[in-house]
Chain A
């Protein structure tokens, strides 16, 4: 879409605020509507719109495909290891109150923050990975055939 000047300019303007909004939704998810799922998708949208308007190759320079794979694995690992920490404090899996020695409420806060971060990383990783997987295929089927 190199010849669409308006799209290119607007995309360049929008990608930043989209990312910022993603972080807002991510870190306010424990108190207001939002959280990892939504933030992850918004974050992925920022990358995907950049990839659609400029080239996917440019998006891949920012986030290489191998990095996206590690990202989605890392998110899940972050999630589970947060849960596992409560084992060693004598609580059940995902019992966040074990995370803070002083107050259960603070523990719940830390827990939900870290876990939502894990969810956010995984979700954005998965969305971008799906986009890359489908986008990379186009070269193998030429346009006239579709």
Chain B
């Protein structure tokens, strides 16, 4: 199964792709600080994002046949050295992160100019690239402690980036502080979990750890390690009752950052959860503990309904989208907790589809911030006529969020409903549809304010800058494209889900 990399004396780019994926943004960040020019900084960030996207697509093509790429850092073989391990799931999430980054950076140019004072621009892009590096590192690495280190790199960068929203609204500072406290507690819980696993196995490599954990599922150390890891990661991914940091952080962060983090940060945390649950602990362990049915399933249902209900009553467009994000995390966790291959496929595909939907919607919110001075629903009144292109994109994003046929959101919800019925849990299908109806209500509130509540009588078209519109439309067209061309996304997530179950059956 595994495609080991042979050492030749010549320089081969393909062999080095896994590390280049991390290195490109990681080198760009200090380079930006070193050059210290804000225009150059943007160009470096843009080019680094595009190169990362190309690398990620290449990696995805390489592992698309079910093979695994293993890269040994420093030439040290896996159980001892750090291993970068790319399979279909990794590569898919990497493509999501780099795609979002490539869409968001062109958008950032004008948005950052508007929301952040000039002296912070270079450091902003440096921190942004570090955040990208961290998120990709979490995804690509095959070493559990490395996951923690990269997770903290991305988290520290995102605390800084969120707090930069303070130039628009000082509440960004307190929300960044709250996120920092909660995020650090989460990361520390995660480290305790890793420490307990290390005590049992004496290794940090994921595959090695999974093999050594075999037959130790009754050990209380292993069980408490699992609990610590789930709670720690749960704080980062905003499982329903652990979500308090998310709405405020997303509301008050700069628009670019909200768009980027909403589409990637929680998704990466979900990736960690999937990786630990299926690759390290194995489904048999989950079945033995019954933790998915007893804990994750009720919490995900609570997220889908309660968070959607709260979203209906939000006054701020960004806040509304933030609560909707919590609800969507519920969908993904529901897919995981079905404990079937189809359910896992639904979860993985929803990670991608929700990512592109949310990036479109949060970027639209940022466009309103520039032109209307804020993202409160009262600011948006009548914007459907003064900002026609932006508002059309909003409608497309909202449709995808609800899950109307022909959009990306429909595909993932359809597979989720299918998986629920396949497992004989048809009440879940009804809950999914009910939650979608709640999404209709909060999306309708937005559309209503855009088109039917005209603030001023005379209509002057005052569109967002072109660079922002292009990014917004690329994201919204992606929502439609992945609603029709479903083969690629479904086949990849299917493969990823199969491999997660396969590795749990026969160790290699």
**A contact set with B: CB distance below 8 Å:** 66, 69-70, 72-74, 76-77, 80, 83-84, 87-97
A-B pairs with beta carbons under 8 Å apart, 29 shown: A66-B36, A69-B36, A70-B34, A70-B36, A72-B30, A72-B33, A73-B32, A73-B33, A73-B34, A74-B34, A77-B31, A77-B34, A80-B27, A83-B23, A84-B23, A87-B11, A88-B11, A89-B9, A89-B11, A90-B7, A90-B11, A90-B12, A91-B75, A92-B71, A92-B72, A93-B19, A93-B23, A94-B74, A96-B74
Q: Cβ of B75 and Cβ of A77 under 8 Å apart? A: no
Query: How far does the Cβ of B124 sit from chain A's closest Cβ, in whole Å?
Result: 14
A93/B74 contact (C-beta < 8 A), A69-B36, A80-B23, A87-B16 known: yes
Q: Cβ of B7 and Cβ of A73 under 8 Å apart? A: no
Collect the chain B residues with CB atoms within 8 Å of residue A94's CB. 73-74
Collect the chain A residues with CB atoms within 8 Å of residue B75's CB. 91-92, 95, 97
Does B8 count as interface, using CB distance less than 8 angstroms?
yes
A95/B74 contact (C-beta < 8 A), A74-B30, A74-B34, A76-B30 known: yes
The prevalent SS among residues of A at the interface is helix
Per the CB 8 Å criterion, the residue count for chain B at the interface is 24
Per-residue CB proximity of B258-279 to A under 8 Å, as 1/0? 0000000000000000000000
Query: How far does the Cβ of B86 sit from chain A's closest Cβ, in whole Å?
Result: 14
Q: Cβ of A70 and Cβ of B74 under 8 Å apart? A: no
Within 8 A of A (CB), among B7-22: 7-12, 16, 19
Does B26 count as interface, using CB distance less than 8 angstroms?
yes
Query: How far does the Cβ of A98 sit from chain B's closest Cβ, in whole Å?
Result: 9
CB-nearest residue of chain B to A84: B23
Within 8 A of A (CB), among B278-298: none
Per-residue CB proximity of B24-64 to A under 8 Å, as 1/0? 00110111111010000000000000000000000000000
Collect the chain B residues with CB atoms within 8 Å of residue A74's CB. 30, 34
A69/B72 contact (C-beta < 8 A), A80-B27, A84-B23 known: no
Bound Cα distance A70, B72 (Å): 31
Collect the chain A residues with CB atoms within 8 Å of residue B16's CB. 87, 92-93
Collect the chain B residues with CB atoms within 8 Å of residue A70's CB. 33-34, 36
